[in-house]
A and B are shown apart, each in its own frame.
Chain A
Amino acid sequence: MIRVLLAAFFILFGAATAQAVLPDEMLPNAQQELRARGISANLRCLVCQNQSIDDSNASLAKDLRLIVRERIVAGDDDKQVVDFIVSRYGNYVLLKPPFQMDTALLWILPFALLLIALAVAFAYLRQQPEPETELGDAQNDILKSE
C-alpha cells in the first residue's frame, strides 16, 4: 500500500514539476544551466502572463530562455542578463517588481493599510466602555442590606 502511495505521489509530483525547458536548450555546463534556470524563473512570459519563461511552453518564452543562456555563455553576470531582457521589455518582465519611485505605492500600501487598520482598531477598542461585570452573590447581599 505504501509503495502504491509513494508511486502515485512521485507520478503526481513529477507531473506537477514537469518543465518547459527542453533538453536541447540546456547548457552543457551544469552551473551555468543552474544560473539560467534561476534567472528564467524570475522573468515573466509575455504570452502567458502569470507564468515565468522557465514554466512556459510559448515559443517566445523559449526564445527568451535561449537568449538568457546565450548571454550567460557570453560572460554576462546575472544582473546583466536580466538588464538585457528588461531593456527590451521593461520592468514588466520582472515577476518581482523592483522598489523604485513608480512602484513605491505598490510596495508600501499593504503595510500602510495594515498600520491604519491597527490604529483604527486600537482607537475603537479604547473608546469602548468597560463592560459591566455581573455582581457576585456577596455584593448583591450587600446591596440588599443597604
Chain B
Amino acid sequence: MKLRMATLLPLGLFAAMGGVLMVGLNHDPRVMPSTLLGKPVPSFDLPALDPTQVGLKSAALKENGVTLVNVWGSWCGSCRYEHPLLMNLAKDKRFKLVGIDWKDNKPNADQYLNTFGNPYAQIGTDESGRTAIDLGVSGAPETFVVDKAGTVRVRIPGPLTPEIWAKDIEPILKEQGPAS
C-alpha cells in the first residue's frame, strides 16, 4: 500500500504540472496587465496632426462621453490590419474615436490617412513618444477605452478584432449608455 502511494505521487505531480503548463500555453506573454485600469487617464496635451484643428487634450476626453483612444503610426503594420475595423467603428455614435499618432511624421501620417481613410474624430501627434510611455504603451496599435468619467476601463494591446470588441468593449458601452 505504501509502495502504491509512492508510485502515484510522481504521477500526480506530473499531471498537476502538465495542467499548469497547458494553461500557460494559452497565455500570451506579450499581453501585460495595464497599470491604468480603473485610474484616470494620464494627463496629456498633444498638438493636432492637422494644424487647423484643436489638439488632443486628456482633460477634454471627459466632456465627450466614452472615448476610444487608438495609438497608431503610419509605420505600423498591424495598424493597417486593424484599420478597416476602425473605419466601421467611426460610424458608431456611442463613443468618440480619437487617435494618437505615435513616433510618426506628418507627411507619412497624412499619406497613410489619405490611402486608408481617416476614422478619427481627432488626432494628436506624439512624436517624442512621451505620452505613449505615460499610457504604458509597448507597441502599436494599442487601444484604450476611457469612460464618461475619464477613467481608463480597457486596454487592448495589438489590433482590435470583432471578437475582442464583443467581449471587452461592447459591455462597457452598454453600461455607459448613450452618449451624453
Contacts and interface: CB of A to CB of B under 8 A. Distances in A.
B134 interface: yes
Interface string B128-143: 1110011110110000
Interface string B19-62: 00000000001101111000000000000000000000000000
Contacts of A90: 32-35, 136
Interface residues of A, number: 17
- The A contact surface, by secondary structure, is helix
B32 to A, nearest CB: 5
Contact of B133 (A47, A64, A92, A120): A64
Nearest to B30: A49
Interface string B142-173: 00000000000000000000000000000000
B103 interface: yes
Main secondary structure, interface of B, reads loop
A135 to B, nearest CB: 29
B121 interface: no
A20 interface: no
Residue with the highest number of chain B CB atoms closer than 10 Å, among A49, A67, A88, A127: A88
B6 A89 contact: no
B34 A59 contact: no
Interface in A82-133: 86-90, 92, 120, 124, 127
Interface string A47-64: 101000000000110011
A26 interface: no
Given A59-B103, A90-B33, 11 more contacts: A47-B138, A49-B30, A59-B129, A60-B133, A60-B138, A63-B128, A63-B130, A63-B133, A64-B133, A88-B135, A90-B32
Interface of B: 2, 6, 9, 29-30, 32-35, 103, 128-130, 133-136, 138-139
Interface of A: 46-47, 49, 59-60, 63-64, 67, 86-90, 92, 120, 124, 127
